[in-house]
Chains A and B, each alone.
Chain A
Amino acid sequence: MTRDWTEREIAAFVDGALDDPADAERIARAIETDAEARALSDRIAASNSLLREAFGTPMEQEVPPSIAAVLTNDARRVGRLPRRRPVPGFAPTALAASVALLIGLGLGATLAPQVLNPAKTVIGLGVGGPDDALAQALETLPSGASSPTGVRPMLTFRDATGRPCREFEVVGALPSDLEFGLACRIGDGTWEVPILVAAPANPLDPGGFEPASGAVGDALSAMLDALGAGPALTPDAEAALLASRWNGSPSKKTHPARREGE
């Protein structure tokens, strides 16, 4: 089967960013006739609309007085925004500790494995062999699939030394118990986890969510840089690796997205 479209073109079409009308027509036809193209286009459109909904609140709100004051008056009447002070005593130790560790990780740029929130961690840092639930999931599951233990690989890439590595998340009993991690395959069925970070949940309402700062992303990003992470493998390349039980030689075939140097 020949394919006259790329993932990037589908994305650009959905994003309304495919400028050439001939390209747009070709991609529109692909989406109409090719189930794979249609599925991808549906997923990107659904993701866009979810993101718009997730961050949509300001669009329905009045402009906050603190910002309106800047625009309607001269700046000297405004001063800094009055920041909401933390309620005294509202400093759950576990959360405070995990935030402190996250910040420590970011600043220190230490590369040693770190346990950021041991209380919630269902899997450990370090090395997991074939009997380990995390290692099993990483060894066998395609990205996007979840194991019964809540492990979900998110994507696969190779590090600077050519080892296959995966980004994954672990969902706990509650949807808000979320951890993000990276693992690299160091031997048959054996995966090393150099970093695992928890998305801080709000202890007052375990079902609720306290959006984390960028610390989680920064920490993962720093580790990706330290590993020399290459671009994400395509689903096909990943499937081939899984089918060969990770014995494939380091592949040159990569996701069209190239990870640019920062």
Chain B
Amino acid sequence: MNETLRTNMAALVPRLRRFAHALCGNPDDGDDLVQTACVKALDRLDQFTPGTRLDSWMFRIVHTSFIDETRRRRRWRTTNDPAALDRISDGGRDLDRVERSLHLARVRAAMTALPENQRAVLALVAIDGRSYKEAAEVLSVPVGTVMSRLARARARLLPLNSEDAA
């Protein structure tokens, strides 16, 4: 039973990392967060109700760990990590790709500039494709709150890609 759960958890890790990266704003803090969340999840396996969605449960643990950690540290430090560039840069081979990657960097920066709670709903709905109801369950807020946070986040993000289209 536990072995199956561990296998299923491992399959969720890419999505959890993507969510955590979007929440924290950088991959290293994101991976720390996923590791912390996995340790917590294994500690509390008895609290998982079989038959319910493992992904929602894990996302909730990632999110609450993020809130705990943010409160504890007050904020995530900006990492000063030269290796992070390798993950962003194309190596300069292809101009289109470089421009594309700069644009994506701008999208990441704009995401980072959003308040945390708006980042969380965008990460769940726009990036992970969860329904509003599922996002509301993960974040323990009403569906209406998910919708208003989304609308507010998009009011800031949409001007960014309308320019892109122009």
Chain A residues in the interface with B (C-beta under 8 A): 7-8, 11-12, 15-17, 42-44, 46-48, 50-59, 61, 63-64, 66-68, 70-72, 75, 78, 81, 83-84, 86-87, 90-91, 95-96, 99, 103, 106-107, 143-144, 146, 152, 154-155, 167, 175-176, 178, 180, 199-200, 202, 204-205, 207-218, 220-221, 231-232, 255-260, 262
Whether the pair A57, B87 counts as a contact (CB closer than 8 A) is yes
11 additional A-B pairs beyond A11-B154, A51-B107, A78-B39, beta carbons within 8 Å, are A17-B131, A50-B107, A51-B22, A58-B21, A59-B15, A63-B13, A81-B35, A144-B159, A155-B159, A178-B106, A199-B113
CB-defined contacts of B31 to chain A, threshold 8 Å: 64, 66-67, 81
Whether the pair A51, B126 counts as a contact (CB closer than 8 A) is yes
Q: How far is the CA of A217 from the CA of B103 in the complex (A)?
A: 19
CB-defined contacts of A86 to chain B, threshold 8 Å: 80-81
Tell me, yes or no, whether B145 is within 8 Å of chain A by CB.
Answer: yes
Whether the pair A70, B39 counts as a contact (CB closer than 8 A) is yes
Which chain A residue shows the least CB distance to B86? A208
Among B18, B103, B152, contact of A55 (Cβ-Cβ < 8 Å): B18
CB-defined contacts of A218 to chain B, threshold 8 Å: 75, 115-116
CB-defined contacts of A67 to chain B, threshold 8 Å: 13, 17, 31, 34-35, 38
Q: How far is the CA of A218 from the CA of B25 in the complex (A)?
A: 12
Whether the pair A209, B109 counts as a contact (CB closer than 8 A) is yes
Tell me, yes or no, whether B150 is within 8 Å of chain A by CB.
Answer: yes
Query: Known contacts A59-B14, A144-B163, A209-B109: does B132 contact A17 (CB below 8 Å)?
Result: yes
Within 8 A of A (CB), among B61-79: 70, 74-79
Q: How far is the CA of A84 from the CA of B26 in the complex (A)?
A: 13
Among B39, B115, B129, B160, contact of A75 (Cβ-Cβ < 8 Å): B39
Among B22, B80, B108, B119, contact of A91 (Cβ-Cβ < 8 Å): B80
Among A78, A154, A260, contact of B159 (Cβ-Cβ < 8 Å): A154
CB-defined contacts of B13 to chain A, threshold 8 Å: 58, 63, 67-68, 71
Tell me, yes or no, whether B122 is within 8 Å of chain A by CB.
Answer: yes
Among B21, B26, B34, B122, contact of A213 (Cβ-Cβ < 8 Å): B26
Which chain A residue shows the least CB distance to B30? A58
Nearest-Cβ distance from residue B5 to partner chain A, whole angstroms: 9
A-B CB proximity, top 8 nearest: A257-B151, A144-B159, A209-B105, A58-B17, A221-B115, A54-B107, A48-B126, A17-B132
Q: How far is the CA of A175 from the CA of B9 in the complex (A)?
A: 38
Whether the pair B109, A103 counts as a contact (CB closer than 8 A) is no
A-B contact pairs, 12 of them (CB 8 A): A43-B165, A50-B161, A53-B107, A66-B31, A67-B17, A68-B13, A70-B35, A71-B38, A209-B108, A255-B151, A259-B152, A260-B148
Nearest-Cβ distance from residue B24 to partner chain A, whole angstroms: 8
Which chain A residue shows the least CB distance to B99? A175
